[in-house]
Structure 1
Amino acid sequence: MTSTHTKMTAHRIFVMPFAAVYPAYVKKAERKGRTKEEVDRIICWLTGYDQAGLLHQIEQRTDFTAFFDQAPALHPNRALIKGVVCGVRVEAVEDPLMQKIRQLDKLVDELAKGKPMEKILRQ
């Protein structure tokens, strides 16, 4: 019983609206001299949403589960996203949804750390 409760607590991000976290991604990037447009480009690269689709998900307050479930085309190069975010190795995350969330976190971290866009987008 404890493991189920722990799992539910650990994954409350799954039911959190993407729109609730999106401003934090933008703010983190802007604090380091990057732009909202660059954040949007990263999100669209990872998920396959176009700008209108991304805006629709934000306006609808879609939760993270639906945001990734409805993503038009997760980028095949997302497997190349490696490293540590929030003390967790991205490529070692077992839950598929949590891994996608951590991949997005890692991309925004790289943007905020000044990495060139072509490296962030694994080109």
Structure 2
Amino acid sequence: MAVGGTLLPALVGFFQGAAALQAKTGRIELTISNHLTLNRTMEAASRPRAQEIDSGDYSDPASSVNLFLAGSAHDEELGKEANLDAEWHKGFHDLLRRAVDAGHGEHSISALTEVLRTPDRAA
């Protein structure tokens, strides 16, 4: 489940990027090298995020929840600009807002783990 929980959103992100590029250029072949670079970035970023989650210390963020929430407006803009269905982002945006509401805005994005593990949606 942990791998699938990572794979499906990553694939949908790839498909959305492909649809946006196809709308602009007619070809998605150009995305493959960027996608592979992102995979290497995810590998490098996962180790420190795992350490944060294991320690429960989210106080030294490389990227904060607030930063990702601010970027969520760009997801909506891309959807409108490229005439894409970006509805699938709303769950992620809601998760970011819930994390901010729970006091994690200035914490590492890894703090989303605290919100995800709380079934009553309070952290």
Fold in common (TM above 0.5):
no
Normalised by the length of structure 1, the TM-score is 0.32
